[in-house]
């Protein structure tokens, strides 16, 4: 703040703010949906880091903590495993024991010496034999530079010796290289040579290098493939498809996550007021969290990188003990598309309720499946609903049903969580405020990077005590980001500018649904209730086409089609089942595109 006192923040090298040139580069970046593998800038960064460090592949993650966690878990793919790590290391002290807490991996310490190393004799002595009474040593970890040992640069001869011990024992070596470039500069040695003996490296871009957010892990292609899978499970995948210029107009309708920031949103992001959000100093992030809590009628909010992480943190914050179970729809996103992360990392059991076509489940089944207090059974701890319901056709869940479920939860003394990834679509479709929609819910996860058009992020809301627990868990899974105001500002803009226009997406979905019904002649149809939000589900006669075949035909442009229509249109969709194709309507689909979409679909249906 402006005052007569000049405050110089030297708490950490994470407090830096992007310079004007960096803000300009960010505002002009070529973006796409990184979760779908389409963000060319992210791919360029990952390849650049892998090349600089002499490894095969790289993976961008929100934080160094998540980078280390994914690295350990990608190496420790089985059970009963142990890592060996310095007793003053960041992994051991500052990451909440996350490899044990969520991964079931044991940590065995080596005594860090004042220079950040540990005794190679102690290392050799502590590598476990193959004994069924003991955990198996699976990974050795080092840190360079070493924060807790005074920012020391590790001697290269020692790294080489540790590397040789690992090779002799058939063990991988991971380097927490949060400040690896500092070590490289001090020693006058390329980073590639510093980590030649390491099988994986996590390096931080938001420390001395001055980027606002993010880390990159590098290693072999197999290692990164495993880490990529794990990143999805903990919700570390961030959005923003790139449509290359050509004679063919490609309209991406795979998801409403493929939207790109408009010029005004990019300007807002480039001018955002930022600070270190991990220290609680990012005023823009705090504003977004408070705004979401206020809009949804809850006490507090927490910004997270993705909806998957939002749901995971919510479940874990409600299920704070052991032997607990959640009740969740069998077609819900939490149950199907989040890798069973609440069991995989949290030890929470999921019990399925049969989702009905409208996205609800039977309240009688719900009552019957709430467990009594019986030591033979897990304890029911949480009920989860989803609105709108993706797998049930983008359905808006009836308010009367939500009220009924809420009353059942209150009677049973159980919290209710809403996966509200597309909650604002439900609000607009029903003409009801989001606050009223979630009045009966104890926690809600909303996504900013779907229909609202922000590039990254979700917010979870609930009581102050709930958010306090979620905040602690976010740190453990590496979801805390540094100058997150850059992307939080896009969320604020989206909430201010892009809610009311969601009705246009709904209208367009209904319009194209009518085209399928008119020209599909029973071969392709949209059920009467199949387009009540922005997601359009086309049911296909299996004797005519499969959903994959329709997907390929909508994408393909034939010479006859080009000649007949006078233009080339390629539509991208997603096969949801063998007999259902999903098309998503979003803010990047303009009115002139709608004419082309209709022309293309009519042509294909009449072939």
Among the listed residues 431, 459, 426, the one whose alpha carbon sits nearest the alpha carbon of residue 443? 459
CB 180 within 8 A of CB 116: no
Instruction: Give the model's confidence band at 607: pLDDT under 50 very low, under 70 low, under 90 confident, else very high.
Output: confident
Distance CA 180, CA 259 (A): 35
The per-residue pLDDT for 216 is: 97
Q: Give the pTM.
A: 0.87
pLDDT surpassing 60 at residue 119 = yes
Please tell me the predicted confidence (pLDDT) of residue 131.
86
C-alpha 470/C-alpha 459 separation (Å) is 11
**Going by C-beta distance under 8 Å and a sequence separation of 6 or more, which residues neighbour residue 455?**
31, 238, 239, 240, 260, 261, 449, 487, 490
Same fold, 40-234 and 263-497: yes
Q: HSE on the CB side for 449, CA within 13 Å?
A: 27
pLDDT reading at 522 higher than 90 = no
Give the model's pLDDT for residue 235.
82
Predicted confidence (pLDDT) per residue in 281-321, tens digit: 999 999 999 999 999 999 999 999 999 999 999 999 999 99
Segment 191-202, tens digit of pLDDT:
999 999 999 999
Max Cα separation, the chain? 77
Residues 465-507: tens digit of each pLDDT? 999 999 999 999 999 999 999 999 999 999 999 999 999 999 9
Q: Mean per-residue pLDDT for 178-187?
A: 96
Q: What is the mean pLDDT of residues 356-373?
A: 96
Instruction: Write the CA distances from 247 to 183, 253, 372, 592, integer angstroms.
Output: 49, 19, 64, 16
Q: What is the pLDDT of residue 426?
A: 97
What is the band of 516 on the pLDDT scale with cuts at 50, 70, 90? very high
Domain 263-497 carries which CATH code? 3.40.640.10
Q: What are the residues facing 141 on neighbouring strands?
A: 174
Q: Where are the beta strands (DSSP E) in 466-560?
A: 524-525, 535-540
* pLDDT at residue 32, as a whole number: 82
Q: What is the pLDDT of residue 239?
A: 62
pLDDT of residue 30: 84
Between 558 and 326, whose confidence is greater?
A: 326
Question: Which residues pair with residue 219 across a beta bridge?
Answer: 57, 200
Res 530: pLDDT: 60
CA 237 centroid distance within chain: 4
Lowest-confidence segment of 74-78, 243-247, 289-293, 602-606 by average pLDDT:
243-247
What is the reported pLDDT for 1?
42
| Rounded average pLDDT over 271-280 | 92
Q: What pLDDT is attached to residue 247? A: 64
pLDDT at 35 over 90: no
Average of per-residue pLDDT across 369-397: 95
Residues 570-574 have a mean pLDDT of 95
Q: What is the DSSP letter of 129?
A: P
pLDDT at 315: 97
Q: Are strands 249-252 and 215-219 parallel, antiparallel or unpaired?
A: unpaired
| Residue that wins the pLDDT comparison between 31 and 291 | 291
Domain assignments of the chain as residue spans, ordered by start: 40-234, 263-497, 502-605
pLDDT band at 244 (very low <50, low <70, confident <90, very high): very low
- The mean of the pLDDT values for the chain is 93
As given in the structure block, the two tokens for residue 577 are 């089942």
Domain 40-234 in CATH 3.40.50.300? The answer is no
Q: Is the peptide bond before 145 cis (omega within 30 degrees of 0)?
A: yes
Phi, psi dihedral angles at 14 (to 5 degrees): -90, -5
- State which fold the 502-605 domain adopts: 3.90.1150
Alpha-carbon distance of 263 to 244, in angstroms, equals 18
Q: Are 70 and 217 in contact (CB under 8 A)?
A: yes
């Amino acid at each position: 703040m402006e005052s007569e006192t000049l405050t110089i923040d030297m708490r950490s090298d994470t407090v830096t703010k992007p310079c004007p040139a960096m803000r300009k580069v960010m505002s002009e970046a070529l973006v796409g949906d990184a979760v779908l593998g389409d963000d060319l800038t992210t791919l360029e960064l990952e390849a650049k880091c892998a090349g600089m460090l002499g490894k095969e592949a790289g993976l961008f993650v929100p934080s160094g903590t998540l980078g280390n966690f994914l690295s350990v878990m990608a190496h420790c793919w089985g059970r009963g495993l142990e890592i060996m790590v310095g007793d003053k290391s960041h992994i051991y002290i500052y990451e909440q024991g996350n490899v044990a807490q969520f991964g079931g991996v044991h940590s065995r310490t080596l005594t860090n010496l004042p220079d950040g190393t540990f005794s190679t004799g102690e290392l050799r002595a502590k590598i476990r034999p193959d004994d069924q009474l003991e955990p198996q040593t699976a990974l050795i970890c080092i840190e360079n530079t070493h924060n807790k040992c005074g920012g020391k640069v590790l001697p290269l001869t020692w790294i080489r010796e540790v590397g040789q011990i690992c090779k002799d024992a058939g063990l991988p070596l991971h380097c927490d290289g949060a400040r690896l470039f500092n070590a490289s500069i001090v020693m006058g040695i390329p980073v590639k040579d510093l980590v030649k003996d390491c099988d994986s490296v996590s390096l931080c871009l938001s420390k001395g290098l001055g980027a606002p957010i993010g880390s990159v892990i590098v290693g072999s292609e197999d290692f990164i493939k495993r880490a990529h899978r794990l990143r999805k499970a903990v919700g570390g995948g961030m959005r923003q498809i790139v449509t290359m210029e050509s004679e063919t107009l490609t309209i991406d309708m795979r998801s409403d996550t493929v939207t790109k920031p408009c010029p005004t949103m990019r300007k807002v992001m480039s001018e955002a007021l930022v600070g270190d959000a991990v220290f609680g100093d990012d005023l823009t992030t705090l504003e977004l969290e408070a705004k979401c809590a206020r809009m949804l009628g809850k006490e507090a909010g927490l910004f997270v990188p993705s909806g998957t992480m939002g749901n995971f943190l919510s479940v874990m914050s409600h299920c704070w003990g052991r032997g607990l179970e959640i009740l969740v729809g069998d077609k819900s996103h939490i149950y199907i598309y989040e890798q069973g992360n609440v069991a995989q990392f949290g030890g929470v059991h999921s019990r399925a309720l049969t989702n009905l076509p409208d996205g609800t489940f039977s309240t009688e089944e719900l009552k019957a499946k709430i467990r009594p207090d019986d030591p033979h059974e897990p304890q029911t701890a949480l009920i989860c609903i989803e609105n709108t319901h993706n797998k049930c056709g983008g359905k808006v869940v009836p308010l009367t049903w939500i009220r009924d479920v809420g009353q059942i939860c209150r009677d049973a003394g159980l919290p209710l969580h809403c996966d509200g990834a597309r909650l604002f679509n439900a609000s607009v479709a029903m003409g009801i405020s989001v606050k009223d929609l979630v009045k009966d819910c104890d926690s809600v996860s909303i996504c900013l990077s779907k229909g609202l058009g922000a590039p990254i992020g979700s917010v979870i809301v609930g009581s102050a005590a709930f958010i306090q627990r979620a905040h602690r868990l976010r740190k453990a899974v590496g979801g805390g980001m540094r100058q997150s105001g850059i992307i939080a500002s896009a969320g604020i803009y989206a909430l201010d500018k892009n809610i009311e226009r969601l009705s246009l997406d709904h209208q367009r979905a209904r319009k194209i649904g009518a085209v399928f019904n008119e020209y599909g002649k029973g071969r392709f149809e949209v059920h009467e209730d199949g387009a009540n939000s922005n997601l359009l589900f086309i049911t296909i006669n299996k004797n005519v086409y499969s959903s994959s075949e329709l997907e390929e035909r909508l994408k393909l442009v034939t010479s006859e089609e080009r000649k007949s229509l006078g233009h080339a249109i390629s539509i991208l969709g997603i096969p949801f089942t063998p007999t259902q194709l999903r098309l998503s309507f979003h803010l990047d689909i303009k009115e002139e595109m709608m004419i082309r979409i209709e022309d293309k679909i009519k042509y294909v249906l009449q072939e």
